Amino acid sequence: MCLCIVVLFFSFSSRSVSRLIDGISISCPFTCPSCYSPPSRDQYIICVLFLRSTYSNNPAKAIDGWDNVIHTARKLIRFAQILEIPVLATEQNPKALGPTDPSLDLESLSPEQFLGCFPKTKFSMVIPETMQIIQERKISNIILVGIESHICILQTALELLAARFAAQPIEVYVLADGVSSCHPQEVPVALARLAKAGAMVTTSESILFQLQADAARPTFKSFAKQVKEEKDGTRRALDGLAKNSSRL
């Protein structure tokens, strides 16, 4: 049973630039320094999809590396506050399976930043409520974190990769240090399938530095301090979860 996904959405001000290299015209959508444009922060969204609170009571019998998944989810929410990224949440059949884990501390977000929590029965997070937000904010890049890798993460990513909004494809990022399943061997199989389908498999620290983009930005001092505070937990999550991507 799929129980949680954490999703970070953001949008690049992308543009396809044609350049002449050795007499050949090459279209380059931010694949070189002169073409890359940092993301616009008002187009980021973190979407938390049902981090089930009952898993925290007995994680050893539920999800492999559960504590590491929770750490990465909490880390993203803390960085969302620093980078002023709005957050929304979804819950998988909460009447039967329980609410989102309170340790994520979603209540710490301001009313302007937390966009609400939406119940769902569908394994994918692609539901009308979330898609309305994605469309209205013109989101084009989405980061997925959580569980289960081979169910909710997989179905969400595949559906988003197939989707088209405003004639622009959606890029999907899956964090190797922030996804897991009941059986650890499900993870590398799911990540390999997602990579083949076009998803970008990366890490939480890598994508967060991509979002910060520039040390000259005013948020960098707080950003760097939080990176140091998260260092030990980040290392544990990498050691415990990212090993599952070694077969990619």
Chain segment 140-193, per-residue pLDDT in tens? 888 898 889 999 899 999 998 988 655 667 888 999 999 999 999 999 999 999
The end-to-end CA distance of the chain, in Å, is: 24
AA identity, residue 229: E
| Dist CA 4 CA 39 (whole Å) | 26
CATH code of residue 140: 3.40.50.850
**What pLDDT shows up at residue 145?**
85
Q: Report the chain's mean pLDDT, rounded to a whole number.
A: 79
pTM for the model stands at: 0.82
Domain count, the chain: 1
**What pLDDT shows up at residue 220?**
98
The two three-digit tokens of residue 174, written as one number: 């899956």
**Mean pLDDT, to the nearest integer, of 217-243?**
96
**Exposure on the CB side of residue 81, measured as CA atoms within 13 A:** 15
* Angular region, 86: left φ>0, alpha ψ -120 to 50, beta rest: beta
Expressed as residue numbers, the domain containing 181 is 4-245
Chain segment 187-227, per-residue pLDDT in tens? 999 999 999 999 999 999 999 998 999 999 999 999 999 99
Chain segment 68-77, per-residue pLDDT in tens? 999 999 999 9
Q: Is the predicted pLDDT of residue 26 greater than 80, yes or no? A: no
**What pLDDT shows up at residue 18?**
41
**124, 72 Cβ separation under 8 angstroms:** no
Q: How confident is the model at residue 134 (pLDDT cuts 50, 70, 90)?
A: confident
**78, 36 Cβ separation under 8 angstroms:** no
| Dist CA 16 CA 25 (whole Å) | 12
More confident residue, 245 or 8: 245
Residues in the chain: 248
Q: Is the predicted pLDDT of residue 35 greater than 60, yes or no? A: no
Long-range contacts of range 130-137, CB-CB < 8 Å, 24 or more positions apart?
Answer: 130/47, 130/88, 130/90, 133/45, 133/88, 134/9, 134/45, 134/165, 135/165, 135/166, 137/9, 137/11, 137/43, 137/45
| Dist CA 94 CA 115 (whole Å) | 18
